[in-house]
Structures are given as C-alpha cells and as structure tokens.
Structure 1
Amino acid sequence: MAKKTVQATIRQQKYKTEIQAKNHILIADEPIEVAGQDFGFTPTELLEASLASCTAMTIRMYADRKGWDLTEAKINVSFKRNISTHLVTFKKDIELFGNLNDKQRLRLKEIGTKCPIEKILKGQVDVESRLF
C-alpha cells in the first residue's frame, strides 16, 4: 500500500467526503444542484485552491527572503477544460499589495509560476490506481 499522505473517505451521506492529511481534516462535497449538500469545497475548487495557495506561499517566501514590503497577495484561480481536445487552461489573477515597484511586482508574478503545484500541473502526470 502506498504511503498515506492524503486520505479521502466517503460513507453513505451522498457525496460528502472527509479528507484527512496528518491531523488536518476538511470536507469536500458537491453543490445542491447536482445532488450534493454543499458542505465543503468541490473537487474542482480544491484543485484551484491548491494552485492558488501554493502560488501565494511561494510569492510570500520570495518577498520575505528579499525583504520586500509585500503586505498582501491575493491569487484568484479558475480553469477551463476543453472536452474534445483535453486541454486544460488555468487562469491566475494576482493582486499584490504593499510598497513594491514595477520590477518587484513583475518578479513576484514570475516567481509565482515556480510554485511546486504549478510545476506538477505543467509536467507530465500519470495516475496509478491500485485496488486493495
């Protein structure tokens, strides 16, 4: 069995899924319109949240290391999927606040593309499933 890093458990309550990583728990669900109960993020929102939070953290780490006056970063992520071509396009809108010049702002935008989740999404990805 693979090393457990994230575990998702669904029981009899339609679509409500408990996700656990270490000692952290969150709920995923589907919207009411598709027979869910809207108790938590949809799986799509979790994917978008992974990219948004990773980008924000990467920008924060870099700004802190450089001693730049970044007071806040807001990352909005959405994606579109072309069913016929299988192309997925993520869009990231980045808002940076603080006393930053244009060169610093552009550098932080560039650094945001180097977050680990974006590297995973841009790389070749395989998923291996095993049944136990």
Structure 2
Amino acid sequence: MAEITKVKASIGRDRYQTVIQTDKHELIGDEPIENNGTDLGPDPYEFILAGLATCTAATLRMYADRKGWDLEQLEIELSLQVERVGVSQSTNILRELHFVGNLDDEQKAMLLNIAEKCPVHKLLTNQVIITTKQI
C-alpha cells in the first residue's frame, strides 16, 4: 500500500499567514508584503522548491555515501517561473547543483542523473490528481 503523507493548514483573519502542521513540526506560510501578506514565512512556491531541494539533497547524499564518493558538500539553487498565456500556464523550474569534493566528471554526471530520480522530482514531473472535498 502507498504511504500517505498528511499536512494540516489553518488560516484565521491574519491576512495570508497560514499555520501548517505536519506530524512533528509546525511551520508558517505567508505571502510577501507586495502581495498583501506579512512575509512571516515562505510563500507556497518557496515551499514547493524547498521540498524539491530537500529531497534532491537527501537523495544525492544517500547515493554518494553508498558509492563511497568524496562529496563534502552539495549546494542547490532552485528557481521557479510560471508563464501564463490566456487560460493555460506552464511552470519552469531550474535546479542548479554545485558539488564540493573530489569528484570526477563521470561522478558529477551520474549525480545530475540521480537528481532526477528523487521522489519529489518524480511527483512534480508525473501526473498529479488533486481531489477536493468538504469535511
């Protein structure tokens, strides 16, 4: 059976400040001031990129450790751009990886390939079905 991940979110009258609860953590999501938020936490797009960054980092760390490679540090920069034309839109995410350590070109190429196999990358690049219901 597939694993189920759950998150709860609650918003009151404080503009866009949203309290997000996971099993063990509480986070604040918000909108930037220029979008009439209070900028007390990441916006929704930043949370998506943070999830992809975290998953990519953990996946590459596990892979490099299993191979015994000298990956001292991995730095990941992500950017997201949504292009809207009429009623359709496309989303482009740029993921840039910087490897620190004694890695050859073949190892770096393999890590770039493995980055596309992290579970969040797969989630974002495959069909996603969202069902909304009132509880």
TM bin, normalised by shorter chain, reads over 0.9
| Inter-CA distance 4–70: structure 2 relative to 1 (3 Å threshold) | closer
2:122 is matched with 119
The alpha-carbon deviation at position 12 of structure 1 amounts to 1.6
2:75 equivalent to 1:74: yes
1:96 is matched with 99
Q: TM-score, normalised by structure 1?
A: 0.93
Q: Distance in 2 between matches of 1:125 and 1:88?
A: 14
| Inter-CA distance 4–121: structure 2 relative to 1 (3 Å threshold) | closer
SS in 2 for 1:87: strand
RMSD, aligned α-carbons: 1.3
Q: Distance in 2 between matches of 1:116 and 1:4?
A: 13
8 Å contact from structure 1 (residues 53, 75) kept in 2: no
2:67 equivalent to 1:41: no
1:30 is matched with 31
SS in 1 for 2:130: coil
Q: Which runs of 5+ in 1 are unaligned?
A: none
Q: Distance in 1 between matches of 2:70 and 2:26?
A: 33
The alpha-carbon deviation at position 88 of structure 1 amounts to 1.2
The alpha-carbon deviation at position 4 of structure 1 amounts to 6.8
Q: Which runs of 5+ in 2 are unaligned?
A: none
Structure 1 stretches of 4+ moved >3 Å:
none
2:11 is matched with 10
SS in 2 for 1:83: strand
Q: TM-score, normalised by structure 2?
A: 0.91
